[in-house]
Structure 1
Amino acid sequence: MDVNQKQNWRTILILLVVICLFVVVIFLLLLLPAFVETLLPNNSYVIEITGLSGLAVNGTATVMIPVPANAEGEPALSEGVLAGERQPVGWQAAIRETPYGKMLVFTTVDGYASDISIPFGEAETEKEPRLLVPVLSTPGNASVAEFTRASSGTYTTVVFLDGFVPSPEDAAPISFSLEYQGGGGMKHLIKGDIWTTTVDTTVPSTTSGFVPVPADYYVTAGGIMLL
């Protein structure tokens, strides 16, 4: 190999090294912001209860729905958030102990009922499965802890109605659309699992008392985020 060929190979090698270094620098510039970025986990409860407007109220009407909690029943949203200053129009919210456990109760403050539509949210740092409780039953009578370790499933929770006086010709159903979502977030390019529970059901407006309803639970698996 003559001198010119050696110089050509040396030049090519230098160019390859420069290109590799350039690619590494660009990659680090793109990767570093994402690596240091931290997104807090989600912790939200969206409540939509329709079919209440226009119903007559016998004194005071009451609606109770499940609350977000972990497998041990510890609340995922504080009472100060669920029953704080932010209230749905025409209702007063509170946390009440029931035969099935704690539930979120809405009580009318006027002589009539209106639909309930309100989102709740709070910062959350826990990394554990959460769902809507009370849990009345699970498939195969699994414990709540065992059930939440599955990727998805349907279990039975409960709602409550009392104090409504619908006329026979206006006995439209009351629709419950509840969605709790917790978890997620990201740290050092690692996404957390997201736990979601939804209740999407209707109950006759003539109903009074506790009503078992189905709830769907599913997990969106986290992992390393690809750029």
Structure 2
Amino acid sequence: MVSLNKLKILFLVAAVTVILMISLTLFGVAWINSNPGYYRYAVTVDGLSNYTGEPATDIIVPMPMRDGNLVFSEEELQYKQFGNWKSVIVVTPHGKMLAFQSVDANLTDIHAKFFKGFDPGELKLTDLQNESLSPLMSGGLDTPVRWNSSTQEGSNYTSVLFFPEDLIPLNANAPDIGVSLELTVSEGIHHSISGDTFRISIHECIPPEIRGAIPISVHVKKYLDGNWVPVNEEGIPILSRS
């Protein structure tokens, strides 16, 4: 009988030990499963190879802002070379913006990316309205022709970009210039808990007759269950209309 009780005790101790080891292993895996948060700003301007400009050509786009401050420092944004284009910060009637400058009249497309990482758990999105592509416009700007090439639902606010007046098509069949600006902000993963990920984006096709200050619609989406879902200013998903 004594031996049987000892066996029961030993079995109980072994079972508890195994359970503790499994629990500690799972906890350890969850604790170390972390990915950094980040900001990523991708600027793509396609179709410029079908146009010509002056010896110096500036394409001016909005800059990522958070609560009125630059997401990227001026040092992180300025004087970066992307093919034939160099990034610089310029002052416009609507405030500071990001310009891509080319000193070659034979233009090429623009493909630029800026990235800034944060330690897991460091980046917290307390108010989506603080995240923006600046400048924010309270109303639209007057242009000779209105258009909307975007296929996205809704628009959270309006910003502006600048195309020079001397941006001239090389031939009558030159396509529109495609502009894609995407600011992705992610809280990352902290101890296996996934944070929010949002994308503030602009997608437009600019026809040859539109130049100067150009109003552009800005859309905000949240990454949910493998899909980008439109959200309102508070970050609440907008239900699709059937």
TM-score band by shorter chain is 0.7 to 0.9
Judging by fraction of residues, say which structure has more helix: 1
- Which aligned pairs between 1:60-209 and structure 2 lie closer than 5 A? 60-70=56-66, 72-84=67-79, 86-124=80-118, 125-128=122-125, 129=128, 130-137=131-138, 154-162=156-164, 163-167=166-170, 169-209=172-212
Contact 2:50 2:174 in 1 (8 A): no
Question: Unaligned 5+ residue runs, structure 1?
Answer: 139-151, 222-227
* Structure with max Cα Rg: 1
What is residue 213 of structure 1 aligned with on the other side? 216
Q: TM-score, normalised by structure 2?
A: 0.72
What is residue 52 of structure 2 aligned with on the other side? 56
Range moving further from structure 2, 34-43 or 112-121: 34-43
What is residue 28 of structure 1 aligned with on the other side? 24
The alpha-carbon deviation at position 32 of structure 1 amounts to 1.1
CA distance in 1, matches of 2:188, 2:136: 26
Give percent identity, aligned residues only: 27
Contact 1:165 1:206 in 2 (8 A): no
Q: TM-score, normalised by structure 1?
A: 0.76
Q: What do the CA deviations read for 1:33-67 (whole angstroms, capped 9, x no partner)?
A: 43145432111111111010031213432211111
CA distance in 2, matches of 1:19, 1:205: 75
- Let me know the Cα RMSD of the aligned residues: 2.7
What is residue 147 of structure 1 aligned with on the other side? none
CA distance in 2, matches of 1:158, 1:12: 76
- Structure 1 segments (4+ residues) deviating >6 Å: none
Q: Which amino acid aligns with 1:29?
A: T
CA distance in 1, matches of 2:16, 2:209: 73
- In the alignment, is residue 18 of structure 1 matched against residue 9 of structure 2? no
The alpha-carbon deviation at position 120 of structure 1 amounts to 1.2
Q: Which amino acid aligns with 1:121?
A: F
Question: Unaligned 5+ residue runs, structure 2?
Answer: 140-153, 225-242
